[in-house]
Each structure stands twice: as structure tokens, then as C-alpha cells.
Chains A and B, each alone.
Chain A
Amino acid sequence: MTAADPDRWCPRTAPAVLLRHDRARGSHVLLMPERVVVLTGSARHVVELCDGTRTVTRITEELRARFPEAPVDAEVGPFVERMRKEGWIR
């Protein structure tokens, strides 16, 4: 699998994958068959922007504007790529 073009690809969560707020534990999670992925740090904000309308570049820009202190540039790309390999977004 080669990396997707960050200027063209508009990721969205796979149909089987659900982003939910886990009230009992106070975190956000991805729900899928046989698996719960607990999202830590700013991961949730990245997933929320994966709605099929924004390119990866745009997601990064939006998050940079919202969280100027965070290492957005270094983190968003690898995280999106990992989620794609896992099949959570496409």
C-alpha cells in the first residue's frame, strides 16, 4: 500500500467504524467489530474531521489553527496513515 496523496484524498471513517463518546470512562472511542480503540490526546479531533469533505492537508491546517501549541504537522500525517492501514478510514 502506498501512501495516499494528502492534497487529494478526503478520508472518511469506514462504514463499520463508529466514533462514540464513552461517557463511563470519559474518553472518545472507535467502535468496530470485536474491537474498541480508545482515542487519546487529540486523535479524536482528527477522526472528527475525517468526514469525506476535507483533504488531509486541510485537516492539518484546521487543526493547526485550532491547536497552535500542538505538534500538529508531525502527528496528523502518520496518524491518518496508520488509520488507513488499519482500515478505519478510507
Chain B
Amino acid sequence: MTIAPPPPWGLLAELTHACPLHCGYCSNPLELTRRSRELTAEHWVNVFRQAAELGVLQTHLSGGEPLLRKDLEAIVTGAEESGIYTQLVTSGSGLTADRLRSLTGAGLRSVQLSVQHADPAASDRIAGSRAFAAKEIAAALVTDAGLPLGVNAVLHRHNLDAVDGLVELALRWGADRIELANTQFYGWGLLNREALMPGRDQLARAVESVNRWRDQLDGSLEIVWVAPDYFDGVAKPCMGGWGAVSLTVTPDGTALPCPAAATLPGLDPVNIKDHPLRWIWEESKAFNLYRGTDWMPSPCRSCERRDQDFGGCRCQAFALTGDATRTDPACSLSPDHTALTALTHSAPGELTDLVPRRPTTGPRPASHA
């Protein structure tokens, strides 16, 4: 008999891949799910009921742009009725006073708003869409409704110099929290890695800014800095460990240990339409493949940090070496680390080189198989 793994705390609900924006750093897979294959609200309500029974306490309602789901209210109600705390992760496009009212009526608890740059024109250029004006309006609606507001910016070469402006914007918008997250190179972000890769001195300046703001604001605005993977030689404890803290359900119902895991070979992830969520979490192959430390190769196997970072990110190991079981190349102890560091010395990329995220016209992923 085996002991069941500890239950998950969080569920990332990717409600749709549709999005009016075209951010080239998006971590969604290149193969975006069509709207006709999306789960229904009924499916989601069922997922939340099972998730709550399993131990999930919080959910991020994300995408794509979740506001594009006309039945978002029913989905929020489902989460709320199961006792799950809801946070909407949105670009702000399509948020009106009426919509927010019906969402909070359904039980929505908080909102995270993405922004691409502090300067409206630059933000619109990065998003590939005139999206900034809607964000400003959305921020005001959220704070007027008394909901906590988080501002979220994915950082890269083309906005890292605007960290000061982004913090000022978060203050102006009345946010409780700003997340400054360096691009993770998955999905579209991986495809656009060269164009997005920051410069070393640019990063150092951004870190200085963040520290300065933290001192100055003394906690009145929470500033979260997600360090870039390729630069400091430290592997991130991806998702707090494989199948340890949270799970992702994609628009078509595929359950994944991490949002970027869809590309991993041999994972055989299953769909929530076909299996109970508890079985998926506790027993399915996808959630057990890299759970714990038994699967680890050297040098992780004998490393004292193996219980803290779990050998780093499987998706990154696969993206960079073609082998998902290797030590994350972001770790300075990895035999592949020099190859990764070399990528940080590439010539500065141009914003115009970015391949915009689009449903059908984007290039397809190169297969590693």
C-alpha cells in the first residue's frame, strides 16, 4: 500500500485560450485550444467540487482572457459554493461595471490585472493590441468595488527599464500588490526567447529599483519579484514541487502538474472528463512521474538542496536538453548550465522580432522526439 500524497492547495483554472491580446511572452502552449473544445461551466463546477473535497482552497481563474467566457459568473459561483477562494487573472479587456458587479455577486474575491509596460503606447506595442486604456478603467472598477487588486507585469528586455514606472502605476491604481515576474521561457515565451532575453546590467538596475521601492514603501505595497531563471545559477522550486502544491486544468480539461507541462513527452496527462480528480492527483502517471525525489538524476540525487528545489523545472530541462529527467540547466551544478548561460550573451533582441501570440498563424513547436 502506498501513502496518498498531501493534498493540493491551489488550482489554476485556464478557462479559455482565447485572448484579445497577443503578448509574445505568453506561457500558453503554441497549440492553443479551440473554443469549441473548451470545458462547459458545468464541467468546471464539477471540477471545483472535486477539488474542494481534495483540499484545494484557492483558485486562479485564468486563460487566455477569462472574461471572454460568457458563463464566467456560473463558474465563479461553482467555486464559491465549494468554498474555494477565487481570483480573476485578467488583461482587463472587457471588464465593465456591470460585469464586475455580477462577478462579485457570484462570489469573486480578488482581481489580478496584467500590464505590459508603464507607458501606454509601449504597453500596447508589447500586447499587440490597444489594451492599456481598458486596464486603467478596470483597475478603477476593481478598487471602487473594494476588491483587492494585484498588478502583474511579465518582465523582459523591452520593459525591464520601466520597473520604477510600473511600481508608480501600481501605486496610482491603488493596488495592494505588484508582481514583477521575469519571463519564463515556455510556450510563446520560449519561441520568442531571443527577442525577450534581458541584458545583465539591465537586470541589475531593475533589482536595485525593486530594493529601493521596498525600502521606501515599507510593505504598504507588496512587491513580488520573480527572478529570471537563466542568470543567477539557482534552480527554482517549480510549483513548490511536482504534484505537491497545486494543479492546472487546461481549457479542454487536461489536468497537469504545472501549466507548462503539456509539452513533456511520456507524461500521458488525462482529462477531468474521464477520471475523478482525486485519482488524477493521487495516482495518475502524470502527477507521479516527478513527484518526490526518487526519479532524480545525479547531481540532484545526492544534493542537499533536493528537498527544497526538487531538482528545478522539468519543462525547462526538457526545453533546453530534450530530456525532461535531467537536472534543470538553470542550476549551476547542472552539466548543461554553460549552454544555458551562453543564451544570456546573445545579441540584444528587437521588439519587432517577437512572434505575436495568435491562435492559428504562429509557427508550430519544433519536436524534440
Contacts and interface: CB of A to CB of B under 8 A. Distances in A.
Interface of A: 15-16, 18, 20, 22-25, 29, 31-34, 36, 87
A25 B146 CA distance: 30
A22 B148 contact: no
Contacts of A36: 9, 57-58
Interchain residue pairs A-B with the least CB separation, the first 5? A24-B55, A31-B85, A16-B148, A33-B110, A24-B7
A21 B2 CA distance: 27
A44 to B, nearest CB: 15
A13 to B, nearest CB: 13
Q: Residue among B9, B85, B110, B112 with the most chain A CB within 10 A? A: B85
Nearest to B87: A33
A43 to B, nearest CB: 17
Contacts of A32: 85, 110, 148
Contact of B83 (A16, A20, A87): A20
A18 B55 contact: no
Interface in B171-203: 176-177
A18 B85 contact: yes
A29 B7 CA distance: 15
A34 B57 contact: no
Interface in B21-59: 53-55, 57-58
Contacts of B147: 15-16
A87 B177 CA distance: 12
B150 A22 contact: no
A31 B79 CA distance: 14
B9 A18 contact: no
Nearest to B8: A24
9 contacts: A16-B109, A16-B110, A20-B57, A20-B85, A23-B55, A24-B53, A29-B57, A34-B150, A87-B176
A33 B109 contact: yes
A29 B150 CA distance: 21
A13 B356 CA distance: 43
Contacts of B55: 22-25
Given A18-B85, A20-B83, A24-B7, A33 B148 contact: yes
Contacts of A31: 57-58, 85, 109
A60 to B, nearest CB: 26
Contacts of A29: 57
B99 to A, nearest CB: 19
B85 A34 contact: no
Contacts of A24: 7, 53-55
A20 B147 CA distance: 19
B57 A15 contact: no
A33 B57 contact: no
Q: Residue among A22, A23, A33 with the most chain B CB within 10 A? A: A33
Nearest to B55: A24
Given A16-B109, A18-B85, A22-B57, A33 B9 contact: no
Contacts of A25: 7, 55
Contact of A34 (B54, B146, B177): B177
Q: Residue among B57, B87, B147 with the most chain A CB within 10 A? A: B57
A24 B177 CA distance: 29
A76 B156 CA distance: 46
A34 B179 CA distance: 11
B139 to A, nearest CB: 15
A15 B146 contact: yes
A16 B111 CA distance: 11
Interface string B1-26: 00000010100000000000000000
Q: Residue among A15, A24, A25 with the most chain B CB within 10 A? A: A24
A54 to B, nearest CB: 23
Contacts of A22: 55, 57
A33 B150 contact: yes
Given A20-B83, A36-B58, 8 more contacts: A15-B146, A16-B110, A16-B147, A18-B109, A24-B7, A31-B57, A31-B85, A33-B176
